[in-house]
């Protein structure tokens, strides 16, 4: 399948997890990929996997100047940009009483300001290309809050709002802006070596398992493709049904009698 043939896609946080899966999926659909991350060693390995279909470069999404240099490298190599996937993100656990201003702000600078920088930095490129598509990675935490994650939840709620604003403002340039909202996905963000039970615990979704990064990448690939040509400002959950409601466990048969 070559549905993204001729397109150039930028993916932030491409060194591992969902970003790596998205970069490889878009390349498999025919796009040339510009992958950025702060984890340069892992990123280099993804660059090798992409081969001639991609280039990778250091990108710190918090820093506007880093975006400019990174995109220059990308356009020098491929000449244009059609797609942006704002995927980079960080997670932190801290109760309101223990959270510090510095840590709160640091997380926001990646999860919310980073995506703002990305959209602002690619806008002129997408306009020049005659239109394009942006996908922002939110979370089910942008729909329903989690305790002990005030910085993370508020950053994703905010990016949800920013996604809608961008969808409205960029529509006139033929740029679609959508959001993907993953539930629990098997990546280093949530599966750590010191927590071997996490995969099982996080698998308590209606579909009965944790999601895989490739399942998010598939939805992103749809949203940036022409198959989603009339979709903008939309939010697509990829969460195994987790935010659909409460899954009630049926009582034993004789309790109904
Ligand atoms: N894994 C989940 O269960 C889950 C659920 C919902 C949403 N998400 C979101 O999905 C996205 C991808 O996360 P993941 O699960 O692949 O986690 P991950 O930790 O494996 O990957 C996140 C990537 O972002 C990069 N990154 C962090 N700070 C950066 C910065 N300043 N500049 C550039 N890159 C930076 C990291 O180096 C890493 O490669 C994040 O936005 C995350 O909030 C994840």
Give the number of other Cβ atoms within 10 Å of residue 74's Cβ: 27
Chain length of the chain: 257
Residue 1 has pLDDT above 90, yes or no: no
pLDDT, residue 251, reads: 83
Q: What is the value of pTM for the model shown? A: 0.97
pLDDT tens per residue across span 38-64? 999 999 999 999 999 999 999 999 999
Q: What is the pLDDT of residue 193?
A: 87
pLDDT in tens, 192-212: 988 989 999 999 999 999 999
- pLDDT computed for residue 249 by the predictor: 83
* Domain 8-256: CATH superfamily, name plus number: NAD(P)-binding Rossmann-like Domain (3.40.50.720)
How far apart are alpha carbons 110 and 129 in whole angstroms?
27
How many of the other CB atoms lie within 10 Å of CB of 46?
23
- Tell me what pLDDT residue 164 has: 98
Q: Strand, coil or helix: what is 91?
A: coil
Give, for ligand 1, the residue of 16, 35, 157, 189 to mutate: max count of ligand atoms closer than 8 Å to Cβ: 189
User: What separation in Å is there between the alpha carbon of 249 and the centre of ligand 1?
Assistant: 33
Atom 19 of ligand 1, nearest CA residue: 189
Where residue 191 falls (left for φ over 0; alpha for ψ -120 to 50; beta otherwise) is beta
Q: 90 CB under 6 A from ligand 1?
A: yes
Respond yes or no: is residue 178 known to be catalytic: no
Any idea of the CA torsion for 97, 242, 118, 56, to the nearest 10 degrees?
A: 110
218-250 pLDDT, tens digit per residue, is 999 999 999 999 999 999 999 999 999 998 888
Q: Quick one: pLDDT at residue 19?
A: 99
Q: Taking a C-beta distance cutoff of 8 angstroms, is the pair 91, 150 a contact?
A: no
Residue pLDDT, tens place only, 96-116: 999 999 999 999 999 999 999
Measured in angstroms, how far is the CA atom of residue 167 from the centroid of ligand 1? 23
Q: CB of 86 closer than 6 A to ligand 1? A: no
* 256 band by pLDDT with thresholds 50, 70 and 90: low
Q: How many CB atoms lie within 10 A of CB 199?
A: 14
């Amino acid at each position: 399948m070559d549905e993204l043939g001729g397109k150039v896609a930028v993916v932030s946080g491409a060194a591992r997890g969902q970003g790596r899966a998205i970069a490889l999926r878009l390349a498999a659909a025919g796009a040339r990929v510009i992958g950025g991350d702060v984890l340069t060693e892992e990123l280099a390995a993804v660059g090798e996997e992409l081969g001639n279909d991609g280039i990778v470069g250091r990108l710190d999404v918090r820093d506007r100047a880093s975006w400019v240099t990174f995109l220059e490298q990308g356009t020098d190599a491929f000449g244009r940009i059609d797609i942006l996937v704002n995927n980079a993100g960080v997670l932190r656990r801290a109760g309101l009483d223990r959270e510090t201003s510095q840590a709160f702000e640091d997380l926001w600078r990646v999860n919310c300001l980073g995506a703002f920088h990305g959209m602002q930095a690619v806008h002129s490129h997408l306009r020049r290309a005659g239109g394009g598509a942006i996908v922002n990675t939110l979370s089910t935490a942008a729909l329903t809050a989690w305790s002990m994650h005030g910085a993370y939840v508020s950053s994703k709620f905010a990016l949800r709002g920013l996604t809608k604003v961008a969808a409205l403002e960029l529509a006139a340039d033929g740029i679609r802006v959508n959001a993907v909202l993953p539930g629990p996905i098997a990546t280093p963000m949530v599966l750590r070596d010191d927590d071997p039970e996490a995969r099982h615990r996080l698998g308590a979704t209606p579909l009965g398992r944790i999601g895989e990064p490739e399942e998010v990448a598939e939805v992103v690939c749809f949203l940036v493709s022409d198959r989603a040509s009339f979709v903008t400002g939309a939010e697509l959950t990829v969460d195994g049904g987790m935010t659909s409601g409460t899954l009630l466990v049926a009582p034993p048969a004789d309790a109904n009698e």
